[in-house]
Amino acid sequence: MADQLEGRNPVLEALKANRIILEIWMAGSTKGKAINEIVALARKKNIPIKEADKDTLNRMAQNRNHQGVVAKAEPYRYRDFDEVIDEAIREKKNPLIVLLDGIEDPHNLGSIIRSAEVFGASAVVIQKNRAVGVTPSVARIASGALEHVPVVQVVNITETIKAMKNKDFWIAAGDGDSHQVLYQQDLKGPVGLVIGSEGKGISRLVKENCDYLIRIPMAGKTGSLNAAVAAGILLYEVFSQNNRDKETTR
């Protein structure tokens, strides 16, 4: 069964990444630079472009925010864990892997994937059960990042953490109850960053297998952050620590 991509950036980035696109449906009134690039790449790759009115696209799409473009693509292929880890170690001095412990909201998953790509993560690891997978909504929110940062699906996050430790990764997790503030912890080197689920946070077994528990300092009274927002802050801190010397020499 084909996957569905909705929105200009997801379709454009999929074309640029040479993902197999079967067909593209587009509103005749849709215009813009991204649309011109989609059309040019689709013609170059001999991908059929079919015109449809807005009502037809609304019926096809899972979200109304399709921006006048819907594409049918080969099913998303999750990457192999060992392959991704070995590739990350080989290609990056300080590889960063994001591990999601039970994220269920597709908007959160899409946003985290997008932040992971922006801050140079080598992969995002998700659970196979009791968690959201890659869906059209996730692809739309990720806004093309899915084509640049691989997603790995595993059965057990705890066992995955143990496997990463055997490859010399340090595992840090965001935990609002921790006494250690994120910027006080050394997060340089190969790091696995764990983000907990929206309601329950990090599960007990996962927490027990982490090397560091770090919290985001807050001044407000609500006491918590959305999982995707927290992930973005934690990812930036890891990125910042690993690139601080580069920034200060510019």
* Structure confidence by residue, pLDDT tens digits, 29-40: 778 899 999 999
Q: Rg of the Cα trace of the chain?
A: 19
pLDDT at site 245: 62
Residue percentage of the chain with pLDDT more than 90: 65
pLDDT at site 250: 42
pLDDT at site 248: 45
pLDDT at site 165: 97
What is the rounded average pLDDT of the residues 153-164? 96
228 near 108, Cβ under 8 Å?
yes
Q: Where does 92-208 have alpha helices with state H?
A: 106-118, 136-142, 157-165, 204-208
213 near 173, Cβ under 8 Å?
yes
Report which residue type is found at 89: I
When the pLDDT of each residue in the chain is averaged and rounded to a whole number, the result is: 90
| Structure confidence at residue 223 as a pLDDT band (50, 70, 90) | low
In 3D space, the residue among 167, 174, 162 whose CA is nearest the CA of residue 209 turns out to be 162
- In our burial notation (b when 16+ CB lie closer than 10 A, e otherwise), range 215-244 reads bbeeeeeeeebebbebbbebbebbbebbee
Domains of the chain: 3-73 (3.30.1330.30), 81-248 (3.40.1280.10)
What is the rounded average pLDDT of the residues 213-242? 90
Per-residue pLDDT for 247 more than 70?
A: no
Beta bridge partners of residue 154, listed in sequence order:
127
What is the rounded average pLDDT of the residues 39-61? 91
Name the more confident of 68 and 62: 68
Compute φ and ψ for 29, nearest 5 degrees: -85, -5
What is the rounded average pLDDT of the residues 171-182? 91
pLDDT at site 246: 62
pLDDT at site 76: 87
Pair of tokens at residue 237: 């801190």
Question: Over the stretch 96-136, which tens digit does the pLDDT of each residue have?
Answer: 999 999 999 999 999 999 999 999 999 999 999 989 999 88
